[in-house]
Structure 1
Amino acid sequence: MKMIKRAGLTRTGSAFGGTLVAGLGLALLPDPAAAQAANGSAVTGSVTAVVGTAEGTPDQPVAVEHDAENGTFSLVFENDYFADTDRHYTNGFRFSYMTPPGGDPQWLRDAVGAIPFTGFGGDIRVVWSLGQNMYTPRDTSLRNPDPDDRPYAGWLYGSVGVIAETGGVLDQIELSLGIVGPSSLAEQTQKGVHELISSDDPQGWDTQLKDEPIVQLTYQKSWRALAAGSAWGFAADVTPHAGFALGNAFTYANTGVTFRLGQDLPRDYGPPRISPSLPGSTYFRPTDSWGWYLFAGVDGRAVARNIFLDGNTWKDSRSVDKKPLVGDLQAGLAITINGARIAYTHVIRSKEFDGQDQHDEFGALSVSFNF
C-alpha cells in the first residue's frame, strides 16, 4: 500500500481563497430593489446581448425577445453503466438551479466585473448546485483493493457560481464547498443502488480516503460560434474554451473546443457536465420551439492536483501516481423542445494514473428546462 502525506495550503492561497469565499458569499444575500424590478417585469421581457449566430458574427449585437422565465433547473447524471463498465469515475450526480435574467443586483455586476482577466457583464445569472461524485478501483469485489489501483473515494458538495453571457462569450466562475471521505455518503449511495438493481456489493469502501473538507474554485471562458456557417437548412459552429481549477480537490489548467451541427441551434455552450470536464453550461436560449444538434469536443488538462488520485492533503491515505496530462473526447446529441434541452454525451477519458491498463468511458445524461 502506498502511503503519502500532503502539505497544507500556502498563506497566500488561503488569503486569496478567503477573499473569493467572502465575495461569492455575498451573492447569497438578496437585493430588494433588484427583486422588485424583476417581479415587475414578470410577464414578458427582453434582453439585448452581443451574440454570434450562424447568420452573423460574434460581435454583432442582436435583440433577443424571450418569454417570462423564472429560472432554469438542470439535472446531470454521469455513470460508467453507459459504457458497460464499473470502475474508476463510476458515478456523478449534479442538480442545479440558475436564476432568471434581469434579477441580478448592480453590486454583483460590479463585484464580478472587477475580477481580473474576465469579462463578466451582459446576461448575468447565479447558479446554485448540489452534487456527489464517486470513485472506485477496477475490482470492487476485493476487501483490500490493489494498492496500485485508484482508491475508493466520494465527494459531496454544494456550489454557488456566477455566469455571464456577453458578445457570444460565456464566463463561468464557481465556488464549491464540500467533503471528501466517509461523510460524503458515497459508500451508502453505491451500496444502496447496487442492492436496488441486485448487483454485487462493493467490498473495499473501508479503505476509502479520509474525511477532508474541500474548497474548490473553477473558472471557464467559452467563445461561442467563433467560427460559424449555415447551408441547406443546417447550421454549424465552433466554440473554443479555456479555464482553470484551484483547490484541494482539483488544481489544473485546461483548454479545448466544441463543434456543433444541427437545425435551429440554440444560444448555448453545450450540455452541462460535472467537473472536471468540457465546460458546457446550464445556460441556454432556444431560438425556436424545436431544434437539435450533434456535438463533439475535446479538452486537455494539465493536472497539478487530483485528491482522488493523490490522496488526502493532510492525512495519510491510499494514493497512486497521477499522470500530469489528461484528455477528454466527447460526442453526443442535444434536443431542444420549447424551453427544455435533453442531451446525451459519451465520454472517453485518457489514462489518469500510472499502471492504469486502459482509458475510461462513461456517459452523461442531462435535462435542463426553463420555467
Structure 2
Amino acid sequence: MTTPNDFSYHNHSYFTDKYFIYHETSAPKTTCIFGEESYNEGETVPLLCYHIICTSGIWVHTGMVNNRCRKARVYWDPHVKTFDNKHYNYHKPCNFSLVQPGLIQTPKYGVYAQFAECIGLGTCIEKIVFKDNNNTVITISVRNKEELTVFLNGKEFPVSSDTPSFMVQDGVQHPVLAWSQTGSNSRLLFAGSSNLVLEVSKNHVFLWLHPSLTDHYGLCGTSNGVQDDEFTTRSGNVVNSLTSFADSWMTDTQTSPECLTSQRFKRNIILNETGLCTLGNDTLLDLEAICRQKVPVVQHSGQVVEAAEVNALMEACTFDLCLLYSNTGGNMTAIEEYIDTVIADVVVRIIEIEADLIDVESLTTIAPPNTTIARGRPKRRRTYLKIEQKVYL
C-alpha cells in the first residue's frame, strides 16, 4: 500500500497536458495559469485561501488570507487546533494524516505529519508531507530545527523566492505555488491545485480550507463548521476518545520504531493528572507566569485575541516548559531561550494572521482595461487593491 512516506512517481510526460505546464507553452503576458485553469488580469483563484492576484502574468500574494476560510494548526510539542476550533494535545511518534478528502488511506491529495520524540519524552514535528496530486509530493523536513529542507518527489528543492512561483523540476512545472518569507519567524508557503494551502515554519504548520471544500477529515477535524463531530474517525464514527480518534488517522505504514512501542495519552497539565508532566503545582504556576510574558491576555499590538485561543496557548506553553524543565533539570537559560524563539514565533504569527484576514467577497471589483471574461468559466472575482502598499508580510 502506498503511503505518504513512500509515494511512487508516475511518468511526468504522460500527464503533461492535464497536470503540468511547460515553459515552452507559456500563456500571454497578462494571463496566469493555476492548475488546469487560466486567469485574466486581476482575477483570483476562487477556492484558494491565500489572496493571490494575477498581475501582469504573474501571481502576486497580497499577504492577506480569506477570512471565510477555516484554519487549523499543529505547533510546538505538538498541540492541535482543528478547523472548527477544538484544541487538544496528542503525543505519539507516528505518521498521521492532518487533512485529506474522504476516509481512505490513499486519497487524491492531503497533508501528513511525522512526529518524533523530542524534549525528553515529548514529540515534535519531524516532517510534513504535502501531496497535491499523484505526481506532486512535497516533503518539508524540520528535524534539525535550524532550517527547513524541501524535497519535491524525493529530490531536494530550493524555495528561495519571496514571490509565489511554480515548482519546476526536470523541465516540468508542477501545479503548486511555493515561496518563502524571511524575518524573525521565517516560513515557507505552499498553494496547490488541490486548493489546500499551508504555511510551515520550524515550530508550526498552519493549514487553510475554503468552506466550499467539504468532506475533509484527519487530525485537524472535519472543517464543516460543527465542532461536535471533530473527532470523526477513519471509519466515519464520531467518538469521544481522543486516542481512538487520533490513532485512526495514522497512515497504514509506519517507519518509526518509536511508533510501535509508544504509549501516550492526553494530559491536563494544569490539574497535573497522569501524563508526562509531573511537576508540582507551584512549579507549574511559575512556568505559567513565564508563558504569560509571551502569550497575550486579550489584546496584543492592537489585535484582539479570543479568550479560548489564549487559554489554549497558555496550556500548550506551560506543558512544553514543564517537559523542558524536567528534561534539563530546571535549566532556566534553556527555558528562556525556548520562550524567546519557539513560543514567541508562533504567538507573533497568530497575531499577524489575525491582522491579515480580509473579506474577499466585500472587495470592490472592476473590469481590468482591455480584457473580457471568457464565457463558460467559473465566476472569479477581479480584485484590485493598492498592492503597492503591501505586497508581502
Greater fraction of residues in helix: 2
Q: How does the TM-score come out when normalised to structure 1? A: 0.27
Greater fraction of residues in strand: 1
Q: How does the TM-score come out when normalised to structure 2? A: 0.26
Greater relative contact order (Cα < 8 A, sep 6+) = 2
